Chain A
Amino acid sequence: MLDLTRYSSLGEALRDALETWPREVCLYESDRGQEKERITYRDFKQRALPLAKWLQDSGFAAGDRAAIIMTNQSKWLISAYAVFYCGGTLVPLDYKLRPEEQWKLAKHSGASVLIAEYPVWRQLSAGAGRVDAEKIQTVLVAEAPANADLAGGQRWEESRGAGEPKLIMRKREDLACIVYSSGTGGTPKGCMMTHGNYLEQCVALTTWYPFWPGVKYLSILPTNHAIDFMVGFIGPFTCGAAVVHLRTLRPEFVREAFPKYQITYVSLVPLVLRNLQKGLQARFDELPAGKRYVFELLRKMNVVLTKHRPIRWLSRLLLGQVHQAFGGHIEAIIVGGAFTEPQTLQFFYDLGLPVANGYGLTEAGTAVTVNDLKPFRADTVGKPLPGMEVRIVNPDADGIGQVAVRSKTVMAGYLNEPDLTAETIVDGWLMTGDMGRFDRTGHLQLFGRKKNMIVTEEGKNVYAEDIEQAFDGLPVKEFCVFAANYIWPSRSMVGEQLVLVMHLEPGTTFTEELRQEIVARNNRLINFKRLHGIVIYGEDFPLTASLKIIRVALAERLGKMRREEAIQSI
């Protein structure tokens, strides 16, 4: 079992890892199927420490914040380590956000340094919002072409200080990262994650799903995402394992990477897992009748023999061709970020490809429960990881209530949001807003949300309030955005939709012109944030004394309408 008790910070733990396995490869850097380089732990150290020294020479000190916006690649991890080495706090931002959203979060985080890839910086530097993020004094731009205009940035590759940097010690309760779980439109929810949160989570996860030198983790989820940050960086590095970067999410290159690198672990969101399922199923369907019969027979044998626990060598023997397509070394496919349908999970388990599905949220330090495969239970999200206390608050007659979590992995709070923090962490328990219950064997099952939000199949959290500003100035009396399941609880985690609820101006009707306006604004939103439909409500919205909409009360009133009749598609 991994022991990180002697460390008080990620910087320390990573420093020792780089010293322990100097000759092991820690990163395989590929670009569209072409391997560009292999980086050992020694190489990693030699690239990161000059950057740390440069940052220190530039005045970057303990507690200072550095935002990073890059695709999954070595410079992301090297920069992160350099920031931790300096005692800084990392602010990982989503490279898929729009420039104005990235600026907004960078500003909110209080970052003084920004580290970005050139294509990202090219858009960011031209984007609105730069003037507001006046605290950012230093911008490091990686991989800029020789004649590129850096718009005030400094080349990452040339940001190398001479001499040894000093490792700045931090305490376990000090901030390691500020991770935004949402809030690009409304209130930014910057989760303050401590060094202790990550060290504890790392031990908990690797107890069930260990890494060791020789293990290869395929990094597909964005590294700014809490899951990839843990299992695509901190977890493998503290254990001497390797991470494979592809620089693309094209399905053909992802498929090719499994056999090429003999991948051990990969983390996927449900969307990608389902895509793999479709591809495999199509290939099975194309088999000639005789081969298909034999294949189904072997699959059924595998199902019977691995009913109680995975027997990987046996599954590889029985269903060799399927396993070869995945490289033949898969220990587990980690799936998270959003709810996965049990049929998809079972499909892979029946092929002898264990899927470690689980339940987690950034606020809880990523994973709360994970399937321990003893036995595999596709209808649940697994059992609490070691060190996690999970309870159901106010259960109803069916035992379903709000899931609450207490653990050393739970965040310190939301940045600059003491009220929101107090609402979310009550007496040391993180109120997740998700509804669930435990079955008799201690597996957690989820039944919808209590929160006005959706989680897409790509693992994106979208809070309804966050997209309201896209509809500001709409010619209606008042409007509000809701997650449909918040109004009409469905006890389901799939098919979540956002709806725009409108109260029209008195004497007006819903015109085609208004519909076109809504559609046009909706289309300007990034695809996963778009509305599914609208609801016309004929009465005044309930308001507070300060004229804010009382969402809970409005949702209750709307809930009296029939969902199918209320929602009009746009």
Chain B
Amino acid sequence: MALALVFLPVVWGAKLMTMRTLEEITQEILDLAVKQFKVPSGSLKAEDDFYKKLGIDSLQALELLSRLENHFKIELPDYEVQGVSDFKTLAERVQSRL
């Protein structure tokens, strides 16, 4: 009982630490995209169409997804991101899997 009292707040605390807001997730995705596609920091916005803004094709978009999976420690099946082309919607899909 005493042990539980000690550990539960720690576990909850860890959980709370990993809970990110949509804005935070979006920003992390933007940062990852900046690194992966070597574009200037701050040049991407949440509403941007990543195909157009980054000039990437569907395969490069899939590579970005793999990077997101590793970063957020989640699995994003290909179907989950069908038709998604802006960072904000992508962040929503990531959030639903966290």
| Interface residues of A, Cβ cutoff 8 Å to B | 32, 71, 95-96, 98, 117, 119-120, 247-252, 271-272, 275, 457-458, 523, 526-527, 530
Q: Interface readout for B53-86 with A: 1 if CB under 8 Å, 0 if not? A: 0000111001101100000000101111011011
Name the residue on B nearest A98 (C-beta).
B83
Cα–Cα distance between A98 and B79 once the two chains are bound (Å): 12
What band does the interface of chain B fall in when counting residues whose beta carbon is under 8 Å from A? 10 to 19
Given the complex, which residues of A lie within 8 Å of B37, measured CB to CB? none
Name the residue on A nearest B47 (C-beta).
A523
List 20 additional contacts besides A96-B82, A523-B52, A527-B85; criterion CB under 8 Å: A71-B78, A71-B79, A95-B82, A96-B83, A119-B79, A119-B80, A120-B79, A247-B78, A249-B59, A251-B59, A275-B59, A457-B57, A458-B58, A523-B49, A523-B85, A523-B86, A526-B83, A526-B85, A527-B51, A527-B58
Given the complex, which residues of A lie within 8 Å of B80, measured CB to CB? 119
Cα–Cα distance between A251 and B82 once the two chains are bound (Å): 16
Contact of A250 among B49, B66, B83 (CB under 8 A): B66
Q: Interface readout for B15-41 with A: 1 if CB under 8 Å, 0 if not? A: 000000000000000000000000000
Cα–Cα distance between A458 and B56 once the two chains are bound (Å): 13
Cα–Cα distance between A98 and B63 once the two chains are bound (Å): 22
Question: Can you name 24 A-B residue pairings with CB atoms under 8 Å?
Answer: A32-B75, A95-B79, A95-B82, A96-B82, A96-B83, A98-B83, A117-B79, A119-B77, A120-B79, A247-B77, A247-B78, A248-B77, A250-B63, A250-B65, A250-B66, A272-B59, A275-B59, A457-B57, A458-B58, A523-B85, A523-B86, A526-B85, A527-B52, A530-B52
Name the residue on A nearest B63 (C-beta).
A251
Name the residue on B nearest A530 (C-beta).
B52
Instruction: Give B46 Cβ to nearest chain A Cβ, in Å.
Output: 14
Please determine whether A251 and B62 come into contact, CB atoms closer than 8 angstroms.
Answer: yes
Given the complex, which residues of B lie within 8 Å of A249, measured CB to CB? 59, 62, 78
Going nearest first, the 4 A-B pairs with the smallest beta carbon separation are A119-B79, A527-B51, A275-B59, A523-B49
Given the complex, which residues of A lie within 8 Å of B52, measured CB to CB? 523, 527, 530
Please determine whether A252 and B79 come into contact, CB atoms closer than 8 angstroms.
Answer: no
Name the residue on A nearest B85 (C-beta).
A527
Given the complex, which residues of B lie within 8 Å of A271, measured CB to CB? 57-59
Cα–Cα distance between A423 and B85 once the two chains are bound (Å): 37
Cα–Cα distance between A250 and B63 once the two chains are bound (Å): 7
Counting chain A CB atoms within 10 Å of each CB, which of B59, B65, B82, B83 scores highest? B59
Cα–Cα distance between A251 and B63 once the two chains are bound (Å): 7
Name the residue on B nearest A276 (C-beta).
B59
Given the complex, which residues of B lie within 8 Å of A250, measured CB to CB? 62-63, 65-66, 78
Instruction: Give A531 Cβ to nearest chain B Cβ, in Å.
Output: 11
Instruction: Give A382 Cβ to nearest chain B Cβ, in Å.
Output: 26
Name the residue on B nearest A524 (C-beta).
B85
Name the residue on B nearest A275 (C-beta).
B59
Please determine whether B57 and A252 come into contact, CB atoms closer than 8 angstroms.
Answer: no
Instruction: Give B96 Cβ to nearest chain A Cβ, in Å.
Output: 13
Cα–Cα distance between A120 and B59 once the two chains are bound (Å): 21
Given the complex, which residues of B lie within 8 Å of A98, measured CB to CB? 83
Instruction: Give A367 Cβ to nearest chain B Cβ, in Å.
Output: 24
Name the residue on B nearest A119 (C-beta).
B79
Given the complex, which residues of B lie within 8 Å of A457, measured CB to CB? 57
Given the complex, which residues of A lie within 8 Å of B65, measured CB to CB? 250
Name the residue on A nearest B78 (C-beta).
A248
Cα–Cα distance between A523 and B89 once the two chains are bound (Å): 13
Given the complex, which residues of B lie within 8 Å of A247, measured CB to CB? 77-78
Instruction: Give B93 Cβ to nearest chain A Cβ, in Å.
Output: 12
Instruction: Give B44 Cβ to nearest chain A Cβ, in Å.
Output: 15
Cα–Cα distance between A227 and B62 once the two chains are bound (Å): 23
Cα–Cα distance between A247 and B52 once the two chains are bound (Å): 26
Instruction: Give A266 Cβ to nearest chain B Cβ, in Å.
Output: 15
Cα–Cα distance between A458 and B66 once the two chains are bound (Å): 20
Cα–Cα distance between A248 and B58 once the two chains are bound (Å): 13
Instruction: Give A145 Cβ to nearest chain B Cβ, in Å.
Output: 13
Instruction: Give A62 Cβ to nearest chain B Cβ, in Å.
Output: 33
Instruction: Give A39 Cβ to nearest chain B Cβ, in Å.
Output: 21
Given the complex, which residues of B lie within 8 Å of A458, measured CB to CB? 57-58
Cα–Cα distance between A252 and B69 once the two chains are bound (Å): 13
Name the residue on B nearest A526 (C-beta).
B83
Cα–Cα distance between A176 and B21 once the two chains are bound (Å): 51
Given the complex, which residues of B lie within 8 Å of A95, measured CB to CB? 79, 82
